[in-house]
Amino acid sequence: MAHIKAAITAVHGHLPDYILTNQELEQMVDTSDEWISTRTGIKERRILKGAGLATSDMGGEAVKGLLDKRGIGPSEVDMVLCSTVTPDMKFPAAANLISHKAGIKNAFSYDMNAACSGFLYALVTAANYVESGRYKKVVVVGADKMSSIVDYTDRQTCVLFGDAACAVMLEPTQEDVGVMDHVFGSEGSSWQYLHMKAGGSLKPPSHETIDAREHFIYQEGQTVFKLAVTKMGDISLEVMKRNNLSAEDVSWLVPHQANMRIIEATGRRMNLPPEKVMVNIQKYGNTTNATIPLCLWDYEDKLNKGDNLILTAFGGGFTWGAIWLKWAY
């Protein structure tokens, strides 16, 4: 019997209605549309507004849309995996709440956190469940309400992030498509360059941590930038090399959307022309776990069965990775 592979058979996202433009940010902090556009490529991002709305609301909508699109009933889903850094609560997992909101009752679900590389790690984890032969319909959701951990008085970070969720369906196939290979890496010694100072077991929430504004993203941008540029290119080339893929063989680069300059540098390092590089950072900013599936969703109608895609990300931890994916429809 041929080896079972895990193929993406549908993708669907959810974007909150509210659009936060660079012009509105100019009214909030000392910044300019010109600075944000030239340094990051971002023009606008979506923000989830409204009391009582959280990551799982966006994730639930994305999954409901995904099931409708693929014609799969909620009761058929075996497993739901959510990658997020902004779960609704520390526990239970956002994946449990997403399943509940999407009417999924016969599945087990849990969250994964690898910062901006989370969706890639979740995709490969989910693919392993499918490849085992035991699970037939596995949903992977990348979802983040980044606005819940952004300090809108800090111009260095508040211009970067947005809210969104996007989900893919993974199903078994015996064709030569799906998740083909990956190279992942992480190292914790550089955690201090990108993290949230308080709210975890190291520094539980207190009046002092609130007063010190420690419940927000802290990033030393330049350090992260330099490493992201090198790592995303290197790791993508590594996954290509070990599978004998040339730049001509690659149909699309699907990079994490953190900065347009990082995206362009990664494409150049891989020798890919700009028209093979997926970009939507101008519309959504950095949505952390949702960036990569949102690219697949936006470019879905340009994809053909058998296309070779290289998905790559770099994020807090540090974590990084690249996946070779063959598009299945």
Q: Identify which range of 36-44, 70-78, 144-152, 167-175 contacts ligand UT7 by CB under 6 A.
A: 36-44
- Non-local (6+) Cβ contacts of 299 within 8 A are 252, 278
End-to-end CA distance of the chain: 22
* Nearest one of 66, 53, 73 to 141, comparing CA atoms: 66
CB-nearer residue toward ligand UT7: 58 or 116: 116
Q: Contact between 222 and ligand UT7 (CB under 6 A)? A: yes
CB-nearer residue toward ligand UT7: 181 or 264: 264
* Secondary structure E strands in the chain: 5-14, 18-21, 44-47, 79-83, 108-112, 138-145, 163-173, 178-186, 194-196, 217-219, 252-255, 308-315, 319-326
Q: Contact between 43 and ligand UT7 (CB under 6 A)? A: no
By CB under 6 A, the count of residues binding ligand UT7 is: 20
- Only one residue has tokens 């470019």, namely 299
Q: Contact between 269 and ligand UT7 (CB under 6 A)? A: no
Q: Contact between 189 and ligand UT7 (CB under 6 A)? A: no
Q: Identify which range of 50-58, 73-81, 221-229, 244-252 contacts ligand UT7 by CB under 6 A.
A: 221-229
| Residue in 116, 158, 166, 295 annotated catalytic | 116
Q: Contact between 217 and ligand UT7 (CB under 6 A)? A: no
Six token digits for residue 235: 């790791």
Q: 3-class DSSP state for residue 242?
A: coil
Q: Contact between 319 and ligand UT7 (CB under 6 A)? A: no
286 as an active site residue: the answer is yes
CB-nearer residue toward ligand UT7: 168 or 265: 265
Q: Contact between 156 and ligand UT7 (CB under 6 A)? A: yes
CA atoms within 13 A of residue 112's CA, in its CB half-sphere: 21
Residue in 22, 40, 99, 266 binding ligand UT7, rule: CB under 6 A: 40
Q: Contact between 255 and ligand UT7 (CB under 6 A)? A: no
Six token digits for residue 310: 């290289």
Bridge partners, residue 11, by sequence? 168
Q: Contact between 159 and ligand UT7 (CB under 6 A)? A: yes
116 as an active site residue: the answer is yes
Q: Identify which range of 7-15, 30-38, 247-255, 299-307 contacts ligand UT7 by CB under 6 A.
A: 30-38
Interaction residues for ligand UT7, span 95-124 (CB under 6 A): 116
Q: 3-class DSSP state for residue 178?
A: strand
Bridge partners, residue 217, by sequence? 196
| Cα 325 from Cα 309, distance rounded (Å) | 5
Residue in 60, 172, 285, 315 binding ligand UT7, rule: CB under 6 A: 315
DSSP string, 109-174: EEEE-BTBTHHHHHHHHHHHHHHTTS-S-EEEEEEEEGGGS--TT-HHHHTTB-EEEEEEEEEEES
Q: Contact between 266 and ligand UT7 (CB under 6 A)? A: no
In angstroms, give the least distance from the CB of 36 to ligand UT7.
Answer: 6
In angstroms, give the least distance from the CB of 26 to ligand UT7.
Answer: 9
The contact set with ligand UT7 (CB under 6 A) reads 31, 35-36, 39-40, 116, 155-156, 159, 221-222, 224-225, 228, 258-259, 262, 286, 314-315
Q: Which residues are part of the catalytic machinery?
A: 116, 256, 286
